[in-house]
Structure 1
Amino acid sequence: MDSLLDFEECVKDSPDFRLKLELFEADVSVLETQLDKVMKLCSKMVEAGQAYSAANQLFLSGLAELSMLHKKDDVITNCLNQFNQGLQEMVSFHTMLFDQTHRAISQQLTNLCTQFLPQLVETRRAFVQIGEDVEAAALKSAQVSRHKAADAERASHLLLATRKCYQHFALDYCLQLNTFKTQQRVDILNSMFSFVHAQFTFFHQGSDLLRDLEPSMRTMAAQVSQSSADCAAQRKELENKHLLVQQRDASGEPAVGPSPGSDAIISGYLFKRSRRKSKTWKRCWFSIRDNQLVYRKSHKDVSLVLFQDLRLCAVKPLENIDRRFCFELLSVQKCCALQTDSELLKLSWFVALQSSIDFAYRDTRLSQPKEPPPPPCGGDPSPGPPAQRPPALGVALRGPGNQRCCDCGEEEPRWASINLGVTMCIECSGIHRSLGVHLSKVRSLTLDSWEAEQLKLLCVLGNNVMNRIYEARCSEEGRVKPRADSLRAEKETWIKEKYVEKRFVQKSVSDVAQRRLYRAAVAGELVDMAAALAQGADVNRSIGEEEGRTALIGAAVGESLSACEFLLLNGANVNHRDLRGQGALHTAATAGHTGQVCLLLKRGANQYAADERGQDPLAIAVETAHADIVTLLRMARMNEEMRDSEGVFGATGDDETFQDIFRDFSDMASHDPERLSRRQFSRGDEEEEEEEEVDEEG
């Protein structure tokens, strides 16, 4: 979350606050320009889309007229009617898409601009005007003679009233800027989410790419919801802070004391008399820090040191001049006359300067860094509590050789390839990403979420095992592995030779490697599966002597969740079917492997696909009397139907009951598979299930 304007600094009107305020105003101006540009481009895009839809509609009218010329030809008529109906739906989808795009971009962003920006302009105009009045009142008050009591009192009252009014305007202006800063992030994110959601809905049925984007869309929906909640909470907090500061400090008197987050003892505005022109006074921002008195002529200027060492200075009241509230700071080399806005401020600065001088005399080591105390008996300092590693990182580093990068050996890697089962440093992870996700799927061990089966692959395989496979012929090739301090180009060459060219893998005949992959998948031997893939086995190639099954279907015959996950991560087609029309989900349902059914459903397996007997996985589970799988498949089907009826993303996402049951089945399959294998249908339950299916079909 971006930093916001501090109300305390607003009341003090410090140079830091002025700088940050200018940056805020510049950001608002740039954002307004960009929003206007985006809305104009959106309007042009929608106009072009509407023209495209109109042209499509004319084309469809021509097709309808064409179909009328062939009324006697049923084949052509039916074909043209089907085409016309499908294209009519596409035109409707286009129209809906353009309408949703206009609402998502133009209307939402227009609402953001009209809600905040006009009010910001008016408030800023008043803020600038009253700021100029404060400067004029301060200057007039400073110039009143001490001998004109009535004029001095009127000037002081005018300055106090003007400053109080200014502080109220400044606080309101800061609140509006902070509110706009927090709200625009949510509105822009929500606008973009609505736009992408419209695109996602349009392309969902025909685009595998946008189907892969579905988890990201769910995450974005959650982020919008979370951001809205955070925005509401932050707006409430800002209003409370605004009210608190307004009640406590917006009294018209300038605040004294150190600024929040600053090491200054005291800071504030003072008038400084010119040493060359005694009648010239300049209002500057002064502060005491590190035994020095520093000042800034304006918020755009850097700090200047007025007195280098306050130990060599003395402070005393200045009574022999016409101006009020003055004091003098003297050193061996120079003296400087300063003026505050009130007697109270004069006393505060006088005490702060004198205290700083006294403290500097008492402790001459104040400005030197303090050294830590030596450890007892000359030993090393006792270490603090060990740093808590993220859960995924702690599990991954327990794998064989995972404590060092698999490609360069750097310690404490924080990245991993989920399909290769290796850990790596951040530099090697960037090279892995450049290879493409078909070769290496890279994730962070500290930032990304990990599933249990993916972490299990890192522990079972790991760097030692995979390096024995991918670096088996490294010495034969006379190749030297790069080190952590090697150049990036050297690491990049090594990684491409290792994983793309597979230059150091033990050679094998393609058919041998393919059969080895299938046997290892059935047996759940991850190491043999990894070796077979490295030797060139195709993860989606079917085995003729095994009724056309792929390795994934073979893994479904066995009971290894890790084998299924490993194949899916390496590109296995979850919906490939063998010669009998059965896929991995059919096979897992037949064998009663609930954990694999959970995994395959999560990875997009088609639960409606029928085999050569016309049976889908649910019918197979009913026939084989696997109660848990029947329940799971029925809940998944019910959840999908509910989701389709509510849109791609409902208001609350997937059904929570289904998610809870899905999670329970997955945990039971991972931790207590024997319990699942003992659950069977009775004959009465089977007959009841068949009756329910008949009722549903009716």
Structure 2
Amino acid sequence: MDTFLDFEDCIRDSPAFRQSLDKCESDMSELESRVEKVMKLCGQMVDAGQNYTSCNQLFLCALSEFTAYHKSDGVILNCLRQFNQGLQEMIQFQTMLFDQTQRAISQQLTNLLSQFVPQIRETRREFVRIGDDLDSAVVKNAQVSRHKPVDAERATHLLLATRKCYQHFALDYCLQLNNFKVQQKLDILNSVFSYFHAQYTFFHQGFDLLRDLEPTMKTMASQLSQLSTDCSAKRKDLENTHLLVQQRDASGEAVIVCNPSDGGTIQGYLFKRSRKKNKTWKRCWFSTENNQLIYLKSHKEQPVVLFDDLRLCAVKSLDVIDRRFCFELLSVQKCCVLQADSEELKSAWMNAVQGCIDMAYRDQVTDQNTQVKVSSAPVSIPDPPSHPPALGVALSGRGNQHCCDCGEAEPRWASVNLGITMCIECSGIHRSLGVHLSKVRSLTLDSWEPEQLKLLCVLGNEVINGIYEREAADVLQKPSAGSPRQDKEQWIRSKYVEKRFVARHPDGPDADALKLRARQRLYSASVSGDLVAMAEALAEGAEINWNNNEQEGRTALIGSAIGGSLLACEFLLQNGANVNHRDQRGQGALHAAATYGHTGQVCLLLKRGANQYAADEKGNDPLSIAIETAHADIVTLLRMARMNEEMRDSEGFFGSVGDDETFQDIFRDFSNMASHDPEKLTRRPFIRSSEEEQQDEEEKN
């Protein structure tokens, strides 16, 4: 236990007090030197970390350029791009860690030293000076002769005044030292705790990021395994092809590419005689394509059409000139002399060109006959529908084209439970808030369900900012895309954690009534499916799992199941609603959805873990209610879910992993239908067979 300077010993100025004072001053000096050492090393660590972050950022820029180099390979491009985005977010986390470390260590310890040490030193100087004056006054008082009463009285008064002043300074000095000893423990522990909390937040953010990237990494691992297999197979195939070509064609003879099955198309090198200068020959690459003869002077130039319609040409051998292996192509407009490298190549070229001419005539007749048949009965084939990606759908919402918190353009991240889009830097800050406040997902890396994307479109940045920033102009200035990260972090925490900008009534005697009104508003909005009113009620402090005693203890989730709004149900589940809460009659959200025939909500609640075996006070589970209300789709869903669960239980530890594929297909069909075509889920009567009725009677008996 620490010992403090005793104020009574200070008045007596005993040797024990002087010894304690010396020890306290030496402790303060030692603490000051150690704090300065910690601050110096902290500064060096932060500087090194910032240099590391800068180098890491340069590395990611190079990696991004490396990604662009593989733009033609979809697999590599997608993998590198996704890893680049994840590493960019990790750099943001590291930057935030160094900023928090700077504030936790340097700023807090600097405040400790600057608050106490200068004042303590100034007081100590006065204390030493007055102490010297006291010693002089004591000596003078002792030296005055008893025969000089006037001098003795003056020396006595001076001694009393000096001692009184010394005692005041000594008490002040002791008080400051004791206060410093008390405060330094608090500030040091607070500084270390803040630094540890920054480390904890950093690793927690990294854990959340890697957990979100885990499905992507599994997909990449399977792609990498497949790519490795394909690479080995391709290399083996290339080696075999290389060996085959080496044994077959690497004989020094000229090579041409001829395809008899395609009308005799041929490719290869020929010498072409200039039409203006008969003695000038140039070696070019020739090919027959689309009833044309095309040649290429160089790989850097564009191809030139020599004859645009081979049907108007004739090919013949040319033996009247000095050069060997020549043949000629003639048309009404021009002629061209070509030379091959051998007699075999000459014959191949002449036969191939003649075959192209014959094929062109046959194709013309076939096209004319087909044209007549098709014109008599035209058929139109509609284009397949195109579905926009998650990013395009999310950005179509009101205000979603810019970050909800800083306004940066083209955000690539979103909060599922808040219904907003955000940039990568703000998404890192949202992750640090915890999933109970903001569930951050990537619009390009993660998979999205239809109802989740609809939440982003129905709510969106414009609606949410109208709720959470209603009184922001009077409290704090909103940061921009170029603002420092700490300003954005302060804004986001004030906005979503403290909810400082939400329009509130002043606290008073009706505060409980206002909270009750917010809870009732959440329940009524859930029944009617008003997402905006639900978001406002949650912002005003309504509990997500509040029991409405006026409605038999139902929660907002049960109310949304009664009302039938799929989006309201998804919004409540994303914000932490208990899917298995039951009211005073023992019925939960799944009971209510089955009672009122909401197929889409039954599917959603089952996917979110609703207990399909829970029975109400009458002993009816959701399946019994669905059979009683005669809704065939819900009966099918519940029976398939029950069958799937029983199959998994029966398979045991060594069974197959995951759900039955048929079960997954049925749920996927119902989910898509509930999101895109809800009108198709009309109530269809459920007709029970005689065997099912007999089985129910046996179970009752």
Could you tell me the TM-score, scaled by structure 1's length? Answer: 0.46
Could you tell me the TM-score, scaled by structure 2's length? Answer: 0.46
